[in-house]
A and B are shown apart, each in its own frame.
Chain A
Amino acid sequence: MNNRLLSSTSLWVIVAFIIVAGLPSVIASQMVLDLIIHIAIFGLFAISVNLLIGYTGLISFGHAMFYASGAYAFGLLMQTGMWSIPAAMAMAVLSSALLALIVGLICTKTKEIYFTFLTLAIQMMFYSTILSWQTLTGGDQGLTGGFKKPIFLGIDLANTHHVYYFIAGVVIVSLGLLWHITKSPFGYALRMVRDNAARVEFLGMNVRGYRVAAFVIAAAFASVAGVLMSLYVSAAYPNFGYWTMSGEAIFMIMLGGVNTFLGPLVGATMLTLLNHYVTAHTKYYGLVLGTIILLYVLLLRKGLLDIVVERFIAFRLGRTKPAQLVKFDNPVESRLP
């Protein structure tokens, strides 16, 4: 069972990479590649947050903290000039995971909206620290000055095409890992914790343990996204760790879909494209995006991919009790505070 999952996941990862890798030869535009890089990074970040929100039922409003910790750790290590890229990446992700373990142990003492506010508060502490610790972080200027990108395994990240392949590759492998986690027994345990924590406790499982584990895993993948962004812009900025960044991930999740694995990626695509095309035409970007969000809230109220998947399943099963099916497939909506 597990082996079959593993091989099917690997297959998807390979197929996805072939598709994404083929794109540059079809589309010659650097802009499209830049957009894909942004979508991939934000998508990975949003999906990692959704492991907490959608799968575990924990609404974190502070996950940008780990996006930032990944970016800063990586940037700082690279600026020493003594680290290779893979080693710095591993170290950045590891230290972010460690940080997440401590923060997770504290945050999971609380529940529901208190958890949300606690993650927000700790994130803001982290953000204020970045701003105040100017000698290390450069304060509000961010880590500037760039860094050298030594070649490893034949990959030269000073080359824009290599950057594209590398970032796309890392994101796809990460998504494969996350997919694998959500489909593993551990992933199903998380869903149980979300749906009925009391019963899980009754079964003798450690609810808090599962929550902390999910917190750390989500943070680790968020930090991977941060590392990639830092690599891409050769810097790290404090707004990576500001609460609006966490908010943006939540909007991507909501717009794209909570209940489907790739929903947040769809949301990231929507927001990035909207941002790109609307800002090119008007300075009243907020008015346009805000109106779209309000219409969405009034009319749809579900992520795009969630709707597509629901329709698809309903269509396949004919009209056999679609309502019940939706209810079964959609426990998050009713569960969240």
Chain B
Amino acid sequence: MMTQGLNAFVIGMLLFLVASGLTLIFGVLKVVNFTHGSLYMMGAYLAYYIYGITDSYVLAVIIASAGIAVFGVFLERIFFRRLYQSNFLMQLLMCYGWILVLDDLVQLMFGAEFQSMGMPSFFATAPLMIAGAPIPLFYIFLIGISFLVALAVWMLIVKTSFGSKVRAAATNTSMTGALGINTSLLYAGVFALGAGLAGLAGALAAPVRSLVPGMGFSILIESFIVTVIGGMGSIGGALVAAILIGVCRSFGSVGFPMFTEIGVFALMAVVLVLRPDGLFGKGAQR
């Protein structure tokens, strides 16, 4: 039981880390960022590349997150910005274009075969025992970072002036603009943050997941599930939803391994029917 509980937590926190950027961008910009998985992939590859040169995991993670954030600004300024007024389908099409391009670019640069980064020696130790259940040091580190991310994003949005502007922009863009706030810059900032989080997730996952062009694909669907169940745009909701899915998978693999997958999608469907705004959504926004 303890192991399963701890597992649910581990799985959930890793899921949250990956999904946080997606839900942030949706919450503020009302854009469904389908390139999220590709940004995650780029973060992983960038970290792999930097780690290969410098042999420093810290440096790799920092440069990867920052690099993807910068790339996010480029994406937002050149592409997404033109489509805020357009419909959802046009955004979707554009993201699809980027998914195709980025997958092939990664294949061109790093080859089609999968790569493995290896565990930084600091984390290569025996797992710790918590109440009789093992948990690797590296996962404690990831969980810590996930909490920090959740806390930092929440603080940023609730406590700072940047956050209040962001919230204002989320509720009423034109009014915020009329008040002399540069919403355009604000949007770029939020997009950079969301992209940076995707890059961070990719960089953090790189030591334990093999890298391959197209790896963003499975992450994308998982992130959507978390985002939708938690309430699109709600960081806290994403956290709870991610752990909920962790519980599903952790106990499902013991009880009904074949049906875990179906169960998770069923959960998503039930939430959408009963509470379309998700467990922690703000109710009817429109």
**CA A254 to CA B272, docked complex, whole Å:** 26
Interface flags, A124-149, vs B, CB<8A=1, else 0:
11001101100000000000000000
Give the CA-CA distance A294 to B74 in the complex, in Å. 14
Q: Is the CB of A336 within 8 A of B87?
A: yes
Cβ contact within 8 Å between A294 and B79? yes
Nearest residue, chain B, Cβ from A291: B101
Q: Mark A296-333, 1 if CB is under 8 A from B, else 0.
A: 11100100000000000000000000000000000011
In the complex, are the beta carbons of B100 and A290 less than 8 A apart?
A: yes
- Residues on B with beta carbons closer than 8 Å to the beta carbon of A231: none
- Check B89–A291 contact: CB distance below 8 A: no
In the complex, chain A residues whose CB is within 8 Å of the CB of B107: 284
Q: Looking at the complex, which one of A59, A118, A284 makes contact with B89 (CB distance below 8 Å)?
A: A59
Q: Mark A92-113, 1 if CB is under 8 A from B, else 0.
A: 0000000000000010011111
By the criterion CB–CB under 8 Å, are B93 and A125 in contact?
Answer: no
Across the interface, which residues of A come within 8 angstroms of B228, CB to CB?
117, 121
Chain B residues, Cβ within 8 Å of A85: none
Cβ–Cβ contact A286 & B272, under 8 A: no
A294 partner, pick from B89, B94, B277, beta carbons under 8 A: B94
Evaluate whether A289 and B265 lie within 8 angstroms (CB atoms) in the complex, with A53-B89, A250-B89, A337-B87 already known.
no
A287 contacts chain B at the CB level, 8 A cutoff: yes
Which A residues lie within 8 Å of B286 (CB)?
A: 112
The number of residues on chain A lying at the interface, defined by a beta carbon within 8 Å of a beta carbon of chain B, is: 49
Say yes or no: A293-B261 contact (C-beta < 8 A), given A125-B266, A284-B108: no
Q: Which residues of B contact A200 (CB under 8 A)?
A: none
**Alpha-carbon distance A279/B108, docked complex (angstroms):** 16
Are B104's CB and A110's CB within 8 A? no
Task: Say yes or no: is A122 at the interface (Cβ < 8 Å to chain B).
Answer: yes
* In the assembled complex, B57 has its CB within 8 A of some CB on chain A: no
Contact yes or no, B261 A132, CB < 8 A: yes
Bound Cα distance A280, B9 (Å): 48
**Is A114 an interface position by the 8 A CB rule?**
yes
Q: Which residue of B lies closest to A292 (CB)?
A: B97
Which residues of chain B come closer than 8 Å to A287, judged between CB atoms?
100-101, 104-105, 108
A contact residues around B272 at 8 Å (CB): 110, 114, 117-118, 121
* A24 touches B (CB below 8 Å): no
CA distance A294 to B102 in the complex (A): 12
A247 to B105, CA, bound (A): 22
A251 interface residue per 8 A CB criterion = yes
A251 to B86, CA, bound (A): 15
Asked if A120 is at the interface of the complex by the 8 Å CB criterion, the answer is yes
Q: Is B2 an interface residue (CB 8 A)?
A: no
Given contacts A297-B83, A301-B90, contact A286 B268 (CB under 8 A): no
Complex: how many Å from CA A293 to CA B79?
Answer: 12
Q: How far is the CA of A112 from the CA of B87 in the complex (A)?
A: 11
B residues near A53, Cβ cutoff 8 Å: 89
Least CB distance, A216 to chain B, in whole angstroms: 18
Which residues of chain B from 242 to 286 have any CB-CB distance to chain A below 8 Å in the complex? Answer: 258-259, 261-262, 265-266, 268-269, 272-273, 276-277, 286
Instruction: Please give me the 8 A-B residue pairs with the lowest Cβ-Cβ distance, nearest first.
Output: A290-B100, A293-B97, A290-B101, A336-B87, A286-B100, A287-B104, A114-B276, A286-B104
A residues bordering B, Cβ < 8 Å?
A: 53, 59, 106, 109-114, 116-118, 120-122, 124-125, 128-129, 131-132, 243, 247, 250-251, 253-255, 258, 284-287, 289-294, 296-298, 301, 332-337
* B residues lining the A interface (CB < 8 Å): 32, 79, 82-83, 86-90, 92-94, 96-105, 107-108, 221, 224-225, 228, 232, 258-259, 261-262, 265-266, 268-269, 272-273, 276-277, 286
14 A-B residue pairs with CB within 8 Å: A114-B276, A121-B265, A285-B104, A287-B108, A289-B97, A290-B97, A290-B104, A293-B96, A293-B97, A294-B98, A297-B79, A297-B90, A334-B87, A337-B88
